[in-house]
Structure formats: C-alpha cells, structure tokens
Structure 1
Amino acid sequence: MANRKRWNIGVLLLLIIFAYVLVQFYLSTERIRGLVTPLEASGKEHAKLQIALISQELDNPFWRSVEQGALRAAGQYGMELQYMGPFRINAEEQMKLLEKAIASKMDGIILQGIGTEQDKALIEKANKLGIPVITVDTDEPGSKRLAYVGTNNAYAGQEMGRLIANSDKTEPSGVIGVLVGSKEAANQRLRLEGFQSVIAAKKGLTIAEVRASNISRLQAAQQAEQMLKDHPEITYMVGFSSLDGIGMAEAVARVKPGGVTIFAFDDLEDTIAAIKKKQIEASIVQQPSQMGYEAMSLLNQYFQGEAVSSQQYTPISVVTEKEVAAP
C-alpha cells in the first residue's frame, strides 16, 4: 500500500512537471511568433507617420521614460509611436525587433545601438529602404544611422571621476570598486574609460576591480559583496548602470556598513530614497524623457527636409542629499 501511494505521488509529480514544461514551451513559441510576425503597420494605410521605438528592456523605468518623451513629441508632430522591446535584456531579440520594424516598413526607427556587425547591417538595410534610424542611449558609430541622441557617456564617466576626486577637501585617496552594467555595451565602456582617465591622474586613488552587474539589482548586490570581500580595502564604490547603486548599497550594509562611499547612476526611486538615507553619496542623472522627445524631433526635421545634426547630447546633472531634500 505504501509503495503504491509513493508510486501515485511520483506519477502525479511527473504529470505536473510535464504540464509545466508544455506550458513554458507554448509561451516561448508564442513569444517567438510575436517577434517574427510583422507589426500592425505592415500592409495598412496610416494617416500618421509610424515610428518604432525599440527599447533595451520593455518595462525598464529608464526606457519607459524614453517612451514618455517620444509620445509627447509624437502627439506634437502628428506621428504614431509603437513601443516594443524584449521582456528581459536580450540583444538578439532587439535585433529581431529591428528586422520586424524594417519588414513592416515603418517610417522611422529609434533604438539603442547594440554594437554588433549584424546591428550595423540592419541599420544599413533600413537606410537603403529609406527608413531613417536614430540611436538613443548608446550610439552605433560607423553605421548608417541618421543621428545619435543621448548622454555624452565619456563625459559622464569623467564627471563621476571628478565626484570622487572632489569628495575630500584634501588630496583624495582610497581604493575604488566599480560596477558596469555590461563590459560589452558601448555606453558602459565609454563611461568607464572616462572615469579611468580622471582617476589615473590622481595619485592617491586606485581602482581595485571592475565587475559587471548585467543590469540586475540582484547581481549588482552579489558582485559588490564579493568585491568587498576580495578587497576589504575598498573605500569607494561606483556604479555605471541604473540598478548598480541600490545593489551596492545593499552589499555595503551587509559587509561594511558605513565604511564605503557610494556613487550611482540615474535617479530611480530607490536610488533617491538611498540618497535621502545617506546610503548613497550622489548619483549622475540622465534625461531619458528628453532623449525620446529629441529623437522624435530629429525625425520630424528629417521628414520636413531639414538638415539633422549627427549627434545631439542631452544634459546630465548630479543629485546629492541637498537636491533630494529640497522642497
């Protein structure tokens, strides 16, 4: 009897696992089909110009802000915006969405430069078909894109270096742990290079290690914690993607509370809250909404036959406890 009961339970568990795998396979199939199926714009006549905005990650707060700026401009210029992106950061899916936008004969495309030859080839394909492409957040140098709109990433990295260099009234000294969202992403590389150029000129400052967080709060916390364990001499931590600051703050609270000064990137709600609590010293803030607005404005200029600047940098600012405490 006991053996039969165990056998029945085992069969039930196998059925549950099989059902779960079947459901996941179905969802994956539908997702792939969605990437391959042309957009609604295909084969239809539209009174308004159709613009595709391809984000790095669909529900990422930064990209939702880019979308809001683009929507504001779309309303102003009488265009229609179609916002899309992978559910999780995935460069291959971004390129499939670019292929999809080209096949759908969109009137214009706004996207993040991915930094691959395939991405450049697809942008060139769009260009040959008369579809202007604007890169935002990350440029795609050497491609046929119409223009880049976004942060001057090398300058932003230098500004981060100056924040540390000026954080002490005396000659700055200390050891720095650095997180980047990705070591492959062009915007992250440029920020890191700009940062390193400033730190290299300061004799008292050294960089212990650079690790990647993969734009994940959990991985940022894990990588920061391991860095602190491997390099207990670290006195500063710097993060160059939006979730790094929060992850670093969590790691410092566990491993070295009060012993590390943290500098972050962007102004997510949790980052601002951590600045208020003095867990993060300061954060460099971009203007994603302005990026979306300006990208649409450049497309409008292009459609009007006006000359378009190939680079349009959006401003950055530094947020400290003083700014977040202001009424």
Structure 2
Amino acid sequence: MNKSLSILAVLILSVLSYLTYISAESVINSDWKEPLPLMSENQQYRLVLITQDVDTPFWNSVAKGASELAEQEGVMLENLGNYGKNEEAFLSNLELAIHSKVDGIIVQGLDKEKFKELTKIKAAFYGIPVITIAEDVPIEESLRRTYVGSNHFKAGKLIAEQLILDMGDSGEVAIMYDQEPQHYQSLRLNGIQAVFRKHPNISVIDVRTDTSKEKVMATTQNLLNNHPEIEGFVAINSEVTSGMIQEISRRKQIDPLFIYSFDDHADIEGLFQQGKLDAIVAQDPEMMGRLGVELLIEWLEGKSAPLDFDGYFTPITIVKVKDEL
C-alpha cells in the first residue's frame, strides 16, 4: 500500500514539474508588457503627462514640448489622455500612473475631490512628485509640487483691459463660466473683476452655465432676452464660446458686439479666423510642456528642491482679430 502511494506521489510530482516548466517557458517567450513601460538601462526616469483632452491644438502643443524635452534629456515620457473630456477616464489614468509607481507626474489640474485625494494621499504615499500644468489646483488642497502654465489672474485682467479699450468704459458685459467653476476660471474671473471695479459705469452680468452646447445656447438665449442691449461677452471657459456665439448670431449681428475668449479649446482658432471673436488670450502650451518636464527632472535630481510653490508662469498675450486677418 505504501509502495503504491509512493509511486503515485512521484507521478504527481513529475506532472507538476512538467507543467511548471511549460508555464515558465510560455511566460519567458510571451510578448506581455506592463501597462506603463518599465525603466530601461539607458533611461533615467519614467515620467507621465496626463490630460483630459488629446488631439486638440492646445494639448498637442503641450505634449509636443514635453516629448521633445524628455527625448533631449533621455527620459521616458508616457502621454495619457482621452478624445473629448472624460473625467472618469482621466482620473483612472492618474490612478494607473500612481499605482505603476512612475517617477513623476505632470497633470492637467482638476478641481474635484477625487483628483485631490489621488494627489494629496496616494501620490504622496508613494513619494511621487506631481506638477499641475495649464490648470492648477491649490497646493494646500492637492500637495502638488508646483504649477506650470499661464497666470490666469493676469489673463483675466488682459481681457478686461482690452474690452474697455474696444468698447469704452460703460455698457453691459456678460461673463460666462461653469456652474462649478474650476480654480483657473475663478482666477480669470477675479482678474476681470479687478479691472471692472475701476469702471463703475460697466455693468457686469455673471452667467453660469453647463458646458454642453445645448445648455450654453439656452443660457445665452435667456441672457439676451433679459438684457437685449448687452454689447460685451467674455467666455472664461473657452469650451462654451462656440455655443454662445452660435446663439448670439441667431439674434444679433456679430460685428457691432465685443466678444472675447481664451485659446485653449479646439473651436477657438476657427472662430477667431472667421472674425467672430474680437480678441483672445494666446498662451504658450509648448513651453508649458517643456518647462514641466525640465522642472520635474531638476526636482528628481535634487537641483530644484523645493520648487516654487506659487508656480512658474509661461507667456501670455492679447491677440486681436485685426492683427491676424
């Protein structure tokens, strides 16, 4: 009986050893890869750039600047983004990067609790430095190392000053932004208000809207019904600009009006070239990408510790339609 059990045990052990060998061989010869690339011998760091949008002029320029600097410095940079804003997928990409234990993250700021939880708790737990780009989330809420991008308060001031030069220092002006404005929108709004407070004959109408085109058009329609004499329009969130102008065009001639926005949405260039915008704030997204990678590498190498908590501002300028046409 014992002899039979011994023979059976040997047979089972032999079969298991063979299956283990086959499994090991299949793993060794497979093409399986990590979701984010592992560091190779000639690449010093693994960095990731995460944005809500890809394949738009603004974010393509950010990625271009970041990728060129990463290649120049010999580091690996992964670009993660989505076609069209998808907040859930964006946050999933951020969480994936954190759990993959990359060396550093450059990310478009999102003023939402889930984003703050990921950067303030999870990224900090793994010791992963986070730099926000183009859109910021305050350091006390996100624990990001620094911000790279436009000075949005200054951008708001530039828009307001240009509107006064064009329209004069009296009249009604609508400022349109999100129902729950992101941090960068609040900064732009504060800059605009800082200028308009010096001009008491300008009546400012705050207009909050959802960002879907249908909602923007309905909000604009209601605005025009209640304020038929309005002359000035500022889209703080460039995403609402197209729907706003489409509804205005149904009711009024565009030429006598004064309409302004920012350059960080795909629709803006076309509207600007068609002469439907009087001026925009032009930013430097390519420099943002380059500077983000440069600062992250400097921090990882201990050359810039700590980084400036207030951020590193890239150039902005007002571009009038007559300057381009």
Q: TM-score, normalised by structure 2?
A: 0.79
1:118 to 1:285, Cα distance in 2 relative to 1, 3 A: same
- Counterpart residue number, 1:208: 205
What is the CA-CA distance between 1:315 and the residue it aligns to?
A: 1.3
1:95 to 1:298, Cα distance in 2 relative to 1, 3 A: same
Alignment of 1:124-163 (within 5 A): 124=120, 125-141=122-138, 142=140, 143-163=142-162
Gaps of 5+ in 2: 1-32
CA contact (8 A) 1:38 1:103 kept: no
Q: After the TM superposition, which segments of 4 or more aligned residues of structure 1 sit over 6 Å from their partners?
A: none
Alignment of 1:86-235 (within 5 A): 86-124=82-120, 125-141=122-138, 142=140, 143-168=142-167, 172-181=169-178, 183-214=180-211, 219-235=215-231
1:301 to 1:218, Cα distance in 2 relative to 1, 3 A: farther
Counterpart CA distance in 1 for 2:288 and 2:188 is 18
The one-letter code of the counterpart of 2:157 is Q
1:243 to 1:177, Cα distance in 2 relative to 1, 3 A: same
The one-letter code of the counterpart of 2:263 is D
Secondary structure of 2:166's counterpart equals coil
Q: Which has the higher contact order (CA 8 A, sep 6+)?
A: 2
The one-letter code of the counterpart of 2:124 is N
- 1:235-257: CA deviations, max 9, x gaps? 11111233333333322221111
- Counterpart residue number, 1:264: 261
Counterpart CA distance in 1 for 2:116 and 2:174 is 33
Counterpart CA distance in 1 for 2:70 and 2:205 is 46
1:182 to 1:137, Cα distance in 2 relative to 1, 3 A: farther
CA contact (8 A) 1:246 1:270 kept: yes
Secondary structure of 1:57's counterpart equals coil
Counterpart CA distance in 1 for 2:214 and 2:67 is 31
- Counterpart residue number, 1:64: 60
Counterpart CA distance in 2 for 1:97 and 1:296 is 18
Counterpart CA distance in 2 for 1:321 and 1:139 is 28
Query: Is 1:238 paired with 2:237?
Result: no
CA contact (8 A) 1:56 1:63 kept: no
